Structure 1
Amino acid sequence: MLPSDLLMHRYQGEALVPKRLAINAGNVAIATEAIDCFKSACNQTRGELNQRLQDLEGDGTDYRVKRGLAHLLSSGFSTFDVISPLDPPMLRQRVFTLSAQTVPSPQATTQTLERLAVHLSQELDRDVSAIQIREGLYADRPDNQILTTFDAPTPEALLHRYNLSQVQGVFYKATQIIINAHRNDPGEYKLLFRYLKLFSLMAYIEGDADQGFTLKIDGPASVFSASTRYGLALAKLLPALLHVTKWSLTATLTNKDTYSKKQRTSRFALDSECGLVSHYPPGKPYDSMLEASFAERWQKTKTDWKLEREIDLIPIPGSVMIPDFRLVHPDGRTFLLEIVGYWRPEYLKKKFSQVRQADRSDLILAISERLNLDKAGVNFNNTPARLIWFKDKLVPKAVLQVLED
């Protein structure tokens, strides 16, 4: 994403409008120049790349756009590595220790490097030269890091990422966001809720899969002190939301006015017709290796019970529960399966609270024996769910036994 100093927006009354670049020939040319600049800088230092980028900016008024494109290419498509035959911090410590014993001068510097080269050659049992020491002394500094790989996007993809980043920056100062996810495929809801959980966002959820869901999410500038980390996490949710077919969003923002320096409240609105493009994958089949391995074992099991991944959501007060699997029998019987193999006290308390609130007798709860439920303060009694305990892996036989019972 873009840092705050590269975000650009304007106001229409109380509405904030982020800057977005049209996908036209002129902007494609600008994006192409930035991409070519990175391509030509492969295996060169970051400092050399930055000099090329400064030359590319020139004296034009669009320097912030070019700087924003360069930032995205550097942070999202490039890998910079420290290339040095010797550890730079170790070299600095040894060089400074030796140099403190002499009066500073060019000749003394040369002698210090040569002395250290002799010492290191003996210690490492290989040839070390003064030139290697000089080159490696500050190899870990950002400007000296080497651009080793560059996964070049298309110019159009870079412009889409720029537009998305400008909109994401809006949420850095949000006090509250309300998302109305209208009637969509249940799989789209689940992907959105999983990202919501992944980024540890505080949300109140109402609705159901038939009518849609309303998500009220606290922003970083809400009742607690503003948190940059939380603001970034909130901004990361937007690419996930773009995978939902039909939705609308409104946000309340608090910004400091450029001229008066006073806090200014503004509004922002967005919907599924916004034209933004997500770079997030549409979702992976399983959330953990535990789920993936269980599904693989189930495929090898001879049973009439069918294991389904895409299942309905279970609405509970203020939230939603997403079971891992659904088990369906040809005679019409169905059960939901939730695998609890993740250890964290807050997670376990929330999970068992959801199970009790869901009050579903058709829910099977598979719990790892490695979880310290007593330490987490979790009581799994008085729940209508059927319980299965497992150690290292959940085997289909244990689940089938519960189903047949």
Structure 2
Amino acid sequence: MGILTTDKFPLLVVLNPFSGKKQSREVWETILQPALHRAGKPFKVIESGAQGHAQTYFFDNIKPIITDLVQSISVANKPVSDSASGPSVVLPSSATLEVMVVGGDGTVHEIVNGILHGVKGTEFVSEAFRPTVKFSIIPTGTGNAISTSLGVTSVQDALDRYLAGKEIPMRIMTVSTKASGNHWEPRLYTVVVNSFGLHCATVYDSEEFRHLGNERFRQAAMKNIENLKQYEGKLVFYGPVQSYNRSSHSLAPSNNSSGDDLTASTETLSGPFTYLLITKQASLEPGFTPTPLANTADEWMDVLAVQNVGQAEILQMFGATSNGQHIQQEQVEYFKTKVVELETPTQGRLCVDGEFMTIEPGPDGRVRFEVAKDLNTQIFGVFA
């Protein structure tokens, strides 16, 4: 039996009343809930009470949620057996869980990490059974990077796309550090952006301006630009790499590109870095498109590296991000890759979808970013 859904299983609505300008509950009550009633879509509301709540909820409950989903499908598609024992149940090979996020990218990040850590090492994801999770992301957060990158223009637009039912893959990146035995252990899963340097410092400092909504990032950015720092480190790329050629205005394979061998070092980019992004999304908020060639659904990560520039240069770069023209500037290096590692000579800070982790110094402290290859991880889609 193939991939199935069931009208009897509810859409899970994750409502974050604290995201963005705190309009999620009003949007839910006045627009979304009435529309779902009219469409005959059953739903269950999960309210996120605090930071980390959505991740904990799905970590604790994803196994019973999947079990209930499978049971609802199995009963709805129960063939009659020829045996005297009565009907027999045929289990599906896959099932689709729909999750509507009335919130921002941080809530999506929490749900993805809760689900993947919750099913890790269990029988719930295997060759015999692989669930899929489809997100409808209603943009009521601060940045709304995923929605903006998909061209979603409003709450109504996002709702219409969900009701239309068309979806694309939402590819996941893993952020790993070295564990005992020198193997890579995934620490976090990320759907939007990993950053080091000015962007990370901006997100970190933006909490003090949260009451300003989207404006908080501009205020935090200006604070950090006034005291602009350079961040020592180096990037090591593995496997196939494409780099942006400013003369031809196009991407081209690196001279050292190693085909599909993700274990072979391709090239190294040394800092210091003023601004460094490793991302799956083209835009991080409306009007700010730092990685214009990124694609939510493809198998590449986009890397934007700005090296050792001053205040005037970084402001000029930011001024050109609305239309993607900044990648033409000489101070900007732009790559597409599948695996890249970041090493720093001293302890540093990394921002992963708004969550922060420490980079330990030296080769043993390297952090590895890659588009997840494991089909048990790449189980997500987004209505687009």
> With structure 2 as the length reference, what TM-score do the two structures score?
0.27
Hey, which of these two has a bigger chunk of strand by percent? 2
Structure with the greater relative contact order (CA < 8 A, sep ≥ 6): 1 or 2? Answer: 2
Compare CA radii of gyration and give the structure with the larger one: 1
TM-score normalised by L of structure 1: 0.26
The structure richer in helix per residue is 1
